Amino acid sequence: MNKECVIDVSCSHDGMYAFCPYDKATGDVIVGMTLITSLNGFKGKIVGLFHPDGQEAVEEWIKAHPDEKAEIAKRSE
């Protein structure tokens, strides 16, 4: 498992998050290896948020879920 991941916010609901490995060397999000679990079940460092429709969709998710964004940020440190 990669030591870094992003959360695919298009698949994250009700306290369950879709973690995708992140390849720092290439900048690629590896969506084919998604792990859906709670934040407590994941051991890697969260380095960002991802949405297959792009950054604008990520920003919309952040606006709609400010408390979840804050919780993710807290656990990303």
**The one-letter amino acid at 33:** M
- The model's pLDDT over 4-37, given as tens digits with 9 standing for 90+, comes to 899 999 998 888 899 999 998 999 999 888 888 8
CA distance linking residue 63 with residue 8, whole number of Å? 15
CA distance linking residue 65 with residue 19, whole number of Å? 17
Q: E strand or H helix at 40, and its extent?
A: none
pTM over 0.95, yes/no = no
Average pLDDT over residues 33-57: 86
Most confident of 14-18, 44-48, 52-56: 52-56
Eight-class DSSP state of 25? T
